[in-house]
Structure 1
Amino acid sequence: LHFDYKFDPIGGKIQHYLLEKSRVVKQQPGERNFHSFYHLLYGENDLQEYGLNLRAEDYHYINQGNCCRVAKIDDKRDYQQLKQAFKIVGFTPDEISTIWKIVAVILHLGNLKFTDVDGEHCSITRSNDKNDQLTWISKLLSCEEENISSTLTSRVVAARNEVIQARQNITRAHYGRDALSKALYERLFEWLIKYINKTLSKGTNDASQSSLVIGVLDIYGFEIFQNNSFEQLCINYCNEKLQQLFIELVLKQEQEEYERENITWQHVDYFNNKVICDLIEQSRTGILAYLDEACQTVGTVTDEMFLDSINKALKTHKHYSSWALAPGDKLWKNVNNNKSFLIRHYAGDVIYSVDGFLDKNRDTLFDDFKRLLYYSRNPIISSMWPEGEKSITSVTRRPLTAGTLFRNSMISLSNLLSSKQPFYVRCIKPNDEKSPTLFDQTRVEHQIAYLGLLENVRVRRAGFCHRAPYDRFVQRYKIIDCIRSRLYPRGAPTRENAAYICQELHLNNDVAYGTTKLFIKQPISLFQLEKKRTEGLQFIVTILQKYTRSWHQYRLFRREISAIKIQNVYRKYRARSYISKLNELFRNVASTDDLGKNIRWPAPKPGFVPMNNLLKQMYQRWRAFKVIQRIPADQRATFELKLLAGDYLKERPSFLESSIRQEWKGDYLLLPEENAHSIEYRKSISELRGKDGFNHVLFSTLAIKLNSRIKMDERAIVLTDKYLYKLDPRKNFHVKKTGISINDITGLSVTSGKEQLIVVHLVSNNDLVFYMHTKLDRVGEFVGLIAKLKRKSSNFTVDVQRYVSAQIDKHNHIINIISGGVDKVEFRKGSNKNISLLLPNSD
């Protein structure tokens, strides 16, 4: 497990030692095979996909322990959790499917039967139903049935570029089948570990892997069964090596350190099991060495011959025995004397049966199987067997035996543990019945004795509970309150500094001073030191908090200042960028016809919206100025008048369609084409000017006026800069009543259509209603002139509606517009004080 400087886990790596692959094909009574087989059978809903149509109890490889079901294990739930774990680690659906296919293949291989042909040859027993094992093995491995059958029942031997195919008998075929099953499981196990390590290694680096590492080793315990074979020898040898390591690291090194540090102590005797480890592993005279020699001997060598060889070689060894060496011993009663030997382990005497020792030690997987699986159509399975690529004619070196591989793994593991600082967790079995309520005192005492726990306790009691180098001790405890200010002058911590600390805390009677280390005998003294240190930490923590807070606030302040500077520069940059973009867009607009009217403005950033609106206003004013400059000087007054009228007549479409485009002449009655009596009109206007003192006639036209009796009168409507006049064209444009002062006009009402109807609202609530005789739309011109004259008035309005209202003789009337049915314009009084304006179709 890899940790970062904050002690948070950042990754890991799995290393496997001593996979008990023999369990794949055989289990002791009361034992189960590996959990994955039961997970698949009890957890998968669609077992037909893998051809697993039998009960779990019917599969040979998992039923030998007679405990397929365990009360406290929920295989179905565990299977779902395992599938979820696969997804979390990152396995693809194809990879997950291949994993379960290999597990299913192993189950099918266990039920594969062979038929004897002539004593020397055999063939695979086939069935005609859907449970044919070979068919499913071929399908799941993606290999041809013929190739699988040939590989299981024969063997290809290459020698001197020649290939010889040797047929197998039933015994050899079963051996090959079991070797294939174990190899499939082992390769799958190794492939899974590599895949998981690849995921766990993400985020780690060489620096983190070389420090802040915790390793956890979980390994099987000592095994003594009714029938102990090669597997139990390997397992018990493993425990012997771990016990030897425990003795070296905990007992032997403890006492050697006291001698090295010149500390007075009481020697404790303990059993060193190195002699038992040498009995098994020694390179030339160990049991594994003799087993390898028997496996490599040319000719027929049996298990009994191997037993004879170790009996002769080890007959004087005090931890080895057999029936041939001690025939009268009661141990050999009810035991197959010719095939057994005894080793006196640290945990007790164990009798091993040599039956199958040679075959299990060879554990050879023929190259035929490797080639078969390498050429699988499943790329994942093929990648697990790269050595299958070799030519069929190539001669391979003799592989290392299972015992040698096991011994090498144990030596590697021991070297790794020796280089670390191990902590032991000893598991004690309370009983052999797997019961949570039984406590077998004799069994427990026996385990405590052979695990060396008593010796370990004696060494601890005779020695010291804690030791530390002087420099580390002083560095840790110099912060204690009563010592901190007057501990020692500045310089390297020394033994005198450590002695001063112990003296101040009255611990001199419970410590010993070694050459390089200080030793503390009683835990209570160590607790006292730690308590005082914890109290002193409060002062140190306060100082650290003070400086940390100060540094943190200064950092926040500098960060805030920096952020303000960055924001300021960035805002200027954004503004410049935006202005530059606008400059680029509007670079030559002054020379274009539309002065950039159709240019699409870029979307401003949120902070630039006010500035953007201001720029748009500036641009619109500039463009309006340029447009006005293009208008001839004599037409600019009319243009401004049209703009003013347009502000009031936005709801009158005819104004935008025609009126704004036509020429406005103002005093139309001066024009002979408009008024045949223009001379009389001119005289009448001259008289009025002299009488009322106005300066200019702004607008004049012929119209039908609606009087107070709802009758129609022909009138000439004349607008000057001071008055609005109603003249009678039939009486030489004689003034009818006094002119209406511009100041008395409060507003106008016009229709939203093309009608030339105008209602002039007056302060007297007796409005002027008239309809102009013209084919052109002159409403806009009249509205613009009135609006210009009333520009300084805040309550002037122009109402544009489909139906207009008017105050006539202080009564409110609604004027409805009706087109058609008449030859000329007429006003008619209707019901409910409504007035109808009848217009010919042409109007």
Structure 2
Amino acid sequence: MFNLNSAIFLKSFTHKMVKNQSEMYMTELSADSATKIRNTLCKALYFRLFSWIIEKINESIKTKPSLNLTRNNLSLYDFFGFENYYINFFEQLLANYLDEKIVQIFIDTNFRQKQEEYLREDIGWIELNLSTNDPICHFIDRPRTGIFSILNTASSKSIYFREEIFMKELNEQCGKDLHYIQINNPVLLDNDGNGYFLHSLPFRRRVSTGDISAQSVPQLCFGIRHFNENAVYSINGFIEKNAEHLNRNWSQFFFESNHQMLQKLFPEGNPLKKSLRKPITLANQFSIAIESMIAKLHNKEIHYVMCIKPNRLKIPNIFDDEYVYKQLSSHFIIEHGEFLRRGYVYCEKYGTFFKRFRILSRSTWPYWKGSAVNGVLTFIQHNAFLKTSLNDFNFGKTKIFIKHLKTFVELEELRIIKLDEIAVIIQKNVRKWLQMRKFCRMIVSQIKISRCFRKWKIADIEFSCMKQRRRYLLWLYRYLPSTSPIDHQWPPAPRSMRSTSELLRKLYHKWRCQRYRRCFDQINRNRMREKVTAMMLFKNRKASYLSSVAHPFRGDYIRLRQNVKWKRLLPTLGDVYVVFADLVSKITKRCGKEQFIQKVMVITTSSFIVLDGKTMQINQNVRLSSICKISTSPYMDNILVIHILTDQQGINSRALIFESVHLIELITKLYLVIQNTANKGPIVEISPEFQIYTGKETLVLLFKNHSSTQSSSSTPSGQVKIHRKSNRMEFSI
């Protein structure tokens, strides 16, 4: 069945491989050891096969997540009840610990959390002091000194009398705990020459579950005061059941089988996955399973179904009042009823509650623009069908609370009635939409028939129009205008072809421009770049820009490259290339009056140079990175101001005022050279008024255009007159 070697399989039950530091040898096992191995193997196979079946069932019924649909899951947990026999063993301890944890969850969800919510919402709740079983759960599962912790420590020791040591440690660590009952029953040890063994004393039965004494229980027992009642546990088999695990050799033996199911049931037998961890004990497994279950129950709506026994003897038609009352008290059923009588049967956030019941009032349905709290108050106060008053409702900070169940049931019934009315309205509108759709389809069909008829009737007209379009295109092909981009002529078109003619004109002009640009060399491209930059800087900003469009930029207007005096200056300046050179007029103050002094302005690829007009000596040599701004007016004048930084921090600056006939070209070339050098162009300010700093004083330059108001003036267009008033300099154009 397992696809294993039968001889090796049978030999593994009767022999054991023992390994020490230097050698490995095989020893025979006793009948008890072989029986223990057989039982452990059967339990492991049953447990793992059962777990695998449960896992497959859960995978098959698990709901798949959906983006458009919220799925609700219903889970059912079936637990052991509280078990208390005359003598209880390890199984009863686990079952009773689970029962204590369930009671703890019940108290937490039905009392503690609700009371915290009432206090948090500030609804006038008087806090109740409830007794809980938290100390009992902590006594069993607390670290180091808990029952499970002491049991795990005793199970990890490979010595004789582990149960006696466990009993001793339990009495020492837990003897002072209020929930622990220490039973001082003597234990007799006999010596047979080979070692000590436990002498079995006669078993004494207890008279009742409340009778806990040394005369009523066997040896090695202890008691626990549970929340239900006291229980006595015999430690016989505690350590054996807790530390019972399958040897790793068996896991490897099953994993090497050809049976795929065995490889899935014993994955730890894979020789590639070696683990030095000790096997987990049964107590730890049980605690982990309970914690996992509690984590799954978190944020879930829990409903409890508790079974009450009518009598201890489990005989029909007998009702023990005292025993039933004890069960109700131990499971907090009576306290829960009193808590529900004083508390609230339903609570929900304002938004969710308003979203569910807003349809009950015409004031809040179908449109509401206020907050959810005001909406809840509105539909409760103005709802004529609601028979209850506002006293049945309590309004917290974030939630609304309903006192009586009949109020909530009444709301649900009204909601169902309203939903039926809304369903009727939806059905009416759907039927209306269906009829409208049918009518629209009939209209569409009639239109299609009419269109087909008209199409058949005017086929000749369409054919004649097609012939007309063909004739127009052939005629346009013969009379296309020239390929020059400045040629704006275009042949006229018939009325029916005007939109097509306009589209063809744009495409043809675009093709001419592309063809014209492909004929450019590098020099023409640079000139085009300068013209485009000048357009971006001065179009619709400077009045003299239009007069410079038709004139190409020459750059060197005085043939400076052939000048002998300039060639003498080249060794001091270095290897520079002259981008622009022209005679300019520098506006400076001399003898208390502003005068125009002729200078030579030179722009190279690295600096801005001002030369004397006669001697060709260098008056100023400015690095291009020091020029931060260029200012000029929006009128027909040729005045420009160059702002130069005088320190590295860029705080102090001075300005130079020039007048140049080629103003547009000068500023454009200076802008491009600075942009190529510093990767950022200077600021070009075009304004009729701005401030400058000449190095000594701060001046305000004001430009006034008189060409429009004084047309008969003797001053030619573009000529400038300067008037100085303290720190204000006016330029009359």
TM-score range, shorter chain: 0.5 to 0.7
Distance in 2 between residues matched to 1:296 and 1:563, nearest whole Å: 88
**Could you give the per-residue CA deviations for residues 500-541 of structure 1, whole angstroms, max 9, x where no partner exists?**
333334512222121111111122222333333333334322
Provide the residue aligned with 1:319 in structure 2.
Answer: 179
Distance in 1 between residues matched to 2:79 and 2:96, nearest whole Å: 11
Whether the aligned pair in 2 keeps the contact of 1:303 and 1:354 (CA below 8 Å) is yes
Aligned in 2, Cα 1:390/1:439: closer, same or farther, shift over 3 Å? farther
Whether the aligned pair in 2 keeps the contact of 1:468 and 1:517 (CA below 8 Å) is yes
Provide the residue aligned with 2:262 in structure 1.
Answer: 381
Distance in 1 between residues matched to 2:312 and 2:407, nearest whole Å: 42
2:51 pairs with 1:190: yes
Provide the residue aligned with 2:496 in structure 1.
Answer: none
Provide the residue aligned with 2:104 in structure 1.
Answer: 244
Whether the aligned pair in 2 keeps the contact of 1:470 and 1:517 (CA below 8 Å) is yes
SS in structure 2 at match of 1:342 = strand
State the Cα distance separating 1:391 from its structure 2 match.
Answer: 8.2
Aligned in 2, Cα 1:551/1:362: closer, same or farther, shift over 3 Å? farther
Whether the aligned pair in 1 keeps the contact of 2:359 and 2:366 (CA below 8 Å) is no
Match of residue 15, structure 2, among 154, 161, 172? 154
Aligned in 2, Cα 1:159/1:347: closer, same or farther, shift over 3 Å? farther
SS in structure 2 at match of 1:151 = helix
Match of residue 310, structure 1, among 163, 170, 188? 170
Distance in 1 between residues matched to 2:81 and 2:313, nearest whole Å: 16
- Give the AA of the match of 1:475: K
State the Cα distance separating 1:174 from its structure 2 match.
Answer: 2.5
Aligned in 2, Cα 1:199/1:410: closer, same or farther, shift over 3 Å? closer
CA RMSD of the aligned region, Å? 3.5
Whether the aligned pair in 2 keeps the contact of 1:242 and 1:414 (CA below 8 Å) is no
Match of residue 288, structure 1, among 148, 154, 162? 148
2:35 pairs with 1:174: yes
- Give the AA of the match of 1:331: I
SS in structure 2 at match of 1:484 = coil
**Could you give the per-residue CA deviations for residues 218-260 of structure 1, whole angstroms, max 9, x where no partner exists?**
2222222233111111111111111111111111111111111
Whether the aligned pair in 2 keeps the contact of 1:487 and 1:500 (CA below 8 Å) is no
- Give the AA of the match of 1:357: F
Distance in 1 between residues matched to 2:344 and 2:113, nearest whole Å: 13
Whether the aligned pair in 2 keeps the contact of 1:311 and 1:324 (CA below 8 Å) is no
Match of residue 450, structure 1, among 323, 330, 353? 330
**Could you give the per-residue CA deviations for residues 41-67 of structure 1, whole angstroms, max 9, x where no partner exists?**
xxxxxxxxxxxxxxxxxxxxxxxxxxx
Distance in 1 between residues matched to 2:437 and 2:250, nearest whole Å: 67
Structure with larger Rg: 1
Whether the aligned pair in 1 keeps the contact of 2:83 and 2:92 (CA below 8 Å) is yes
Provide the residue aligned with 2:224 in structure 1.
Answer: 343
TM-score (norm 2): 0.52
Provide the residue aligned with 1:510 in structure 2.
Answer: 392
Distance in 2 between residues matched to 1:438 and 1:142, nearest whole Å: 56
- Give the AA of the match of 1:188: L
Distance in 1 between residues matched to 2:393 and 2:290, nearest whole Å: 39
Aligned in 2, Cα 1:150/1:335: closer, same or farther, shift over 3 Å? farther
State the Cα distance separating 1:447 from its structure 2 match.
Answer: 1.7
SS in structure 2 at match of 1:341 = strand
Provide the residue aligned with 1:359 in structure 2.
Answer: 240
Distance in 1 between residues matched to 2:80 and 2:422, nearest whole Å: 47
Distance in 1 between residues matched to 2:442 and 2:179, nearest whole Å: 78
Q: How does 1:509-548 map to 2 (within 5 A)?
A: 509-548=391-430
State the Cα distance separating 1:563 from its structure 2 match.
Answer: 13
Match of residue 123, structure 2, among 243, 250, 263? 263
Distance in 1 between residues matched to 2:434 and 2:19, nearest whole Å: 75
Whether the aligned pair in 2 keeps the contact of 1:290 and 1:310 (CA below 8 Å) is yes
Whether the aligned pair in 2 keeps the contact of 1:265 and 1:462 (CA below 8 Å) is no
Provide the residue aligned with 1:495 in structure 2.
Answer: 373
Provide the residue aligned with 1:461 in structure 2.
Answer: 341
**Could you give the per-residue CA deviations for residues 34-92 of structure 1, whole angstroms, max 9, x where no partner exists?**
xxxxxxxxxxxxxxxxxxxxxxxxxxxxxxxxxxxxxxxxxxxxxxxxxxxxxxxxxxx
- Give the AA of the match of 2:368: R
Provide the residue aligned with 2:719 in structure 1.
Answer: none
Whether the aligned pair in 1 keeps the contact of 2:18 and 2:27 (CA below 8 Å) is yes
Aligned in 2, Cα 1:242/1:166: closer, same or farther, shift over 3 Å? farther
Aligned in 2, Cα 1:167/1:336: closer, same or farther, shift over 3 Å? farther
Match of residue 420, structure 1, among 287, 300, 304? 300
Whether the aligned pair in 2 keeps the contact of 1:266 and 1:463 (CA below 8 Å) is no
State the Cα distance separating 1:489 from its structure 2 match.
Answer: 7.5
State the Cα distance separating 1:325 from its structure 2 match.
Answer: 10
SS in structure 1 at match of 2:131 = coil
Whether the aligned pair in 2 keeps the contact of 1:266 and 1:462 (CA below 8 Å) is no
Aligned in 2, Cα 1:162/1:199: closer, same or farther, shift over 3 Å? farther
Q: How does 1:654-803 map to 2 (within 5 A)?
A: none
Q: Percent identity?
A: 30
**Could you give the per-residue CA deviations for residues 183-225 of structure 1, whole angstroms, max 9, x where no partner exists?**
0101111221233344335x83465998422222122222222
State the Cα distance separating 1:559 from its structure 2 match.
Answer: 9.9
SS in structure 1 at match of 2:359 = coil
SS in structure 1 at match of 2:414 = helix
- Show structure 1 runs of 5+ residues with no match: 1-139, 566-843
Q: How does 1:212-227 map to 2 (within 5 A)?
A: 212-227=72-87
Aligned in 2, Cα 1:204/1:530: closer, same or farther, shift over 3 Å? closer
**Could you give the per-residue CA deviations for residues 595-628 of structure 1, whole angstroms, max 9, x where no partner exists?**
xxxxxxxxxxxxxxxxxxxxxxxxxxxxxxxxxx
Provide the residue aligned with 1:99 in structure 2.
Answer: none
Aligned in 2, Cα 1:168/1:259: closer, same or farther, shift over 3 Å? same
Aligned in 2, Cα 1:186/1:276: closer, same or farther, shift over 3 Å? same
Whether the aligned pair in 2 keeps the contact of 1:374 and 1:388 (CA below 8 Å) is yes
2:159 pairs with 1:299: yes
Aligned in 2, Cα 1:536/1:397: closer, same or farther, shift over 3 Å? closer
- Give the AA of the match of 2:43: K
Provide the residue aligned with 1:791 in structure 2.
Answer: none
- Show structure 2 runs of 5+ residues with no match: 188-205, 448-733
Distance in 2 between residues matched to 1:398 and 1:563, nearest whole Å: 81
Provide the residue aligned with 1:410 in structure 2.
Answer: 290
State the Cα distance separating 1:182 from its structure 2 match.
Answer: 0.8
Higher relative contact order (CA 8 A, sep 6+): 1
- Give the AA of the match of 1:423: H
Q: How does 1:28-43 map to 2 (within 5 A)?
A: none
Distance in 2 between residues matched to 1:558 and 1:455, nearest whole Å: 67
Aligned in 2, Cα 1:159/1:529: closer, same or farther, shift over 3 Å? same
Distance in 1 between residues matched to 2:437 and 2:21, nearest whole Å: 78
SS in structure 1 at match of 2:377 = helix
- Give the AA of the match of 1:181: C
- Give the AA of the match of 2:378: Y
Distance in 1 between residues matched to 2:35 and 2:83, nearest whole Å: 26
TM-score (norm 1): 0.46
- Give the AA of the match of 1:346: F
2:319 pairs with 1:439: yes
- Give the AA of the match of 1:525: T
Whether the aligned pair in 2 keeps the contact of 1:261 and 1:516 (CA below 8 Å) is yes
Aligned in 2, Cα 1:281/1:437: closer, same or farther, shift over 3 Å? same
State the Cα distance separating 1:319 from its structure 2 match.
Answer: 0.7
SS in structure 2 at match of 1:227 = coil
Q: How does 1:638-653 map to 2 (within 5 A)?
A: none
Whether the aligned pair in 1 keeps the contact of 2:222 and 2:232 (CA below 8 Å) is yes
- Give the AA of the match of 1:548: V
What is the count of residue pairs matched by the alignment? 422
Provide the residue aligned with 1:62 in structure 2.
Answer: none
Whether the aligned pair in 2 keeps the contact of 1:511 and 1:519 (CA below 8 Å) is yes
Whether the aligned pair in 2 keeps the contact of 1:475 and 1:493 (CA below 8 Å) is no
SS in structure 2 at match of 1:179 = helix
2:5 pairs with 1:144: yes
Aligned in 2, Cα 1:371/1:326: closer, same or farther, shift over 3 Å? closer
Provide the residue aligned with 1:332 in structure 2.
Answer: 213
